[in-house]
Amino acid sequence: MKKIIAISALLLTSQALAGFSSQKVVSAVKVNRIFDGSGGPTYVTFKDGALPECANADGGYLRTSWADANNGVVDDAGTSRVLSILLAAKAMNTKVEVRYIVNDAGTGWNKCAITGIYMH
């Protein structure tokens, strides 16, 4: 029996944030690294240059953990949900779909915000 896990963590509201692009989507990418420390936003990278507009073409902050990209609010519960999906995908070595927005003023890790993850 083929089991499909379909978990969607859509974090983007229908209203675009000032200074951020409209949502972009990349499919079939693997989680590479997750950095969570120092009380700042959680940063995630994906393999093979999956997010070309982002820092090092591979990652961004989770929107729920980055107040600047989340209407001034850090959503700890939302971040925990998304982290659990990312950790499961990494542990199972499975590909995910990544939804993200680009920060027009960003110059490094703050260039992109991950707005959603879909695990097949």
Q: Report H helices in the chain.
A: 76-92
Domain count, the chain: 1
Separation between Cα atoms, residue 52 and residue 24, nearest integer Å: 11
Say yes or no to pLDDT of 36 above 80.
Answer: yes
Structural domain contains residue 98:
yes
**What 3-state DSSP class applies to 41?**
coil
pTM for the complete prediction?
0.84
Structural domain contains residue 103:
yes
Average pLDDT for 37-66: 94
47: domain CATH number? Answer: 2.40.50.110
Structural domain contains residue 95:
yes
What is the reported pLDDT for 16?
57
Structural domain contains residue 22:
yes
Structural domain contains residue 1:
no
**What 3-state DSSP class applies to 69?**
helix
